[in-house]
Amino acid sequence: MSADLPLPEPKSLHFIEEIVEADRVEGKHGGRVLTRFPPEPNGYLHIGHAKSICLNFGLAKAYGGATNLRFDDTNPAKEDVEYVDSIREDVRWLGFQWQSEHYASDYFPIFFDYAEYLIQQGKAYVCDLTEAEIREYRGNFHVPGRPSPTRERAHEENLDLFRRMKAGEFPDGARVLRAKIDMLSGNMNLRDPLMYRIRRDHHHRTGDAWCIYPMYDYAHGVSDALETITHSICTLEFEDHRPLYDWFLEQDVEGRFFQRPLPRQIEFARLNLTYTVLSKRRLLQLVQDGAVRGWDDPRMPTLCGLRRRGYTPESVRAFAERVGVAKRDMVADVGLLAFCIREDLEKRVPRRMAVLRPLKVVITNMTDAEAFEVELSNHPEDTTLGTRKLPFTRELFIEGDDFREEAPKKWFRLAPGAEVRLRGACLVTCREVVKDAAGNVVALRCEWDPASKGGNAPDGRKVKGTLHWVSAAHALKAEVRLYEPLFTREDPMAVAEGEDWKALLNPESLQILTEARVEPSLGAALPGERFQFERLGYFAVDPDSRPGAPVFNRTVGLKDSWSKIEAKQ
């Protein structure tokens, strides 16, 4: 062993890893680790789910275990196959493979059997109270609950009633099955929680086979136990459901239904992100209200939205890794997400030149015959990405933002009389500003230094500014979509009294530029392809693209220190 080998950095474990590690050392599950990702198919996955997915799959992988994908489809009213399909696609896109795919609805028969068992053990009963009465009998934080009049009904009668509930003898809402736990508990979840309700909804998988559906608290733990999940990870709001989770499983006193050791529920803080909302309900509202184009609108924090925007699965995983796992309510900075995608794209994506807001430049001292070809590297550091050739001609487009009639302090770009470098081509000096009748700058007349071909002058004079450009005759017109945060406030949910969170929508979250000009090669770009447009940012080809009529989404801009300098002036 060489002494100068770098010592392995002892990575500190987060609290869930510590639990898993302790179980492993103890040999609790025979060293087995099986987690699960259990979405309800009632919406599209978003970046918050990504944190959970990465946690569940990552943990299992780190300990040589596996993860199941389970659809928690116990409420047919809200669920749909559309969501099932998108969830499967998104988890796969993130880069994870589940060991097996399950549906809570596949367990309906077992749920029923176990419920009968609980009834027979005197642990569950059929309650005839109405929904309002149940609420009233349950009491509140300050008033203890009262027993339902049917709480002490004979087991045989409960069993009979429950079977008739299943058989469809009673109308929707007429009766429920309840767990008999503790109407005096300070934990409201333990005041005889509902296990089953009667509901004649068509289920996307079981159709009309059932008219009674199990509740989450009953179905979830039982599903975990049936799959022999070792660690059942969920978010903080389920913390006080844990006693219930354990209760349902522990009632299997004879071990007829579940293997032991039973799964353990562990709660962590869900992800929140600045400048966006992250709840399925709100996101659904944005879609339904037309505030965005759909679930995959590039402004959406959904995984399909991020994908369309140009985010890579690697960057989303890196983000999930960097935000950490703990029990403290947290709000991650979108800036960290932006950092993660830049970090990833920077090293792997080819560079191109594109002009978002074209400004015509005519090189007055150049003839058409003097036009030449420049060869540019596709990546400044990674030569394996190769080079490409671009035509340089006397009529060009540069970025409108790169010219100022009145140059501010520290302005390195173009201004009357100023000299800049056109990337890879030559040095040019602005000699004349052409304006239209309204006084708008419509073109610049410049002179080039033929000796500076390639970008450097033989006399060694320094030019600070380097601009991107495209040849006017060769450039391809393109549509470019720029995105800003959906909301104008860091926390859109922190609305004042009488204020509507949707009033906080950013009216400028989408800007469409239809006059952009891009390198000719970009005409062949395929949807999903990513590029860095030099000096502008990272862009991905949108599915709306057509051959010869590309559409680009700006995934994220480059860091812009000039805007900071200018802001300070």
Partner RNA sequence: UGGGGAGUAGCCAAGUGGUAAGGCAGCAGGUUUUGAUCCUGCGUACCGAGGGUUCGAAUCCUUCCUCCCCAACCA
Residues assigned a catalytic role: 40, 270, 280
d(CA 360, CA 385): 30
Q: Compute the least distance from the CB of residue 241 to RNA, in Å.
A: 6
H/E stretch holding 334: helix 334-348
Smallest distance, RNA to C-beta of residue 30, A: 25
- How near is the Cβ of 157 to RNA at its closest, in Å? 18
Give least dist CB 415 to RNA, A.
10
User: Quick one: 350 or 527, whose CB is closer to RNA?
Assistant: 350
Taking the CA atoms of residue 516, residue 517, residue 520 and residue 525 in that order, the dihedral angle to the nearest 10 degrees is: -20
Single-letter amino acid code for the residue at 193? P
Comparison of 240 and 544: residue with beta carbon closer to RNA: 240
Residue closer to RNA (CB basis): 336 or 513: 336
Instruction: Note the helical H segments in 184-301.
Output: 216-226, 242-250, 280-288
Task: End-to-end CA distance of the chain: give it in Å, rounded.
Answer: 57
3-state secondary structure of 375: strand
Judged on CB neighbours under 10 Å (0-12, 13-18, 19+), 398 is: buried
- Smallest gap from residue 172 Cβ to RNA (A): 7
Question: Comparing C-alpha atoms, which of 473, 269, 263, 497 is closest to residue 371?
Answer: 473
* Phi, psi (deg, nearest 5) at residue 289: -80, -5
Q: In terms of CB distance, is 32 or 282 closer to RNA?
A: 282
How many angstroms separate the Cα of 294 from the Cα of each of 44, 285, 337, 342, 445?
11, 10, 21, 25, 45
Nearest to 232 by CA among 33, 49, 87: 33
Angle subtended by helix axes 81-94 and 313-323, to nearest 10: 80
Between 175 and 297, whose beta carbon lies closer to RNA? 175
CB of 543 to RNA, least distance (A): 26
DSSP letter string over 25-86? HHTTTTT--EEEE---SSS--BHHHHHHHHHHHHHHHHTT-EEEEEE----TTT--HHHHHH
SS (H, E, C) 544-560: CCECCECEEEEEEECCC
Query: Least separation, in Å, of the C-beta of 402 and RNA?
Result: 8
Q: Which is nearer to RNA, 378 or 488 (CB)?
A: 378
The three-class DSSP label of residue 89 is helix
CB of 487 vs RNA, minimal distance in Å: 16
Residue 546: CB minimum distance to RNA, A: 27
For residue 345, give both structure tokens: 């794209």
Q: How many CB atoms lie within 10 A of CB 307?
A: 20
Peptide bond just before 214 cis, omega within 30 deg: no
Distance, CA of 69 to CA of 8 (rounded, Å): 34
Complex with RNA: residue 63 or 71, whichever CB lies closer:
71
Nearer to RNA, 215 or 297 (CB): 215
Instruction: Rank residues 43 and 550 by Cβ distance to RNA and give the closer one.
Output: 43
What the block records as the tokens of 22 is 């302790």
Q: 34 with 182: CB under 8 angstroms?
A: no
Burial environment of residue 270 by CB neighbours within 10 A (0 to 12, 13 to 18, 19 or more): middle
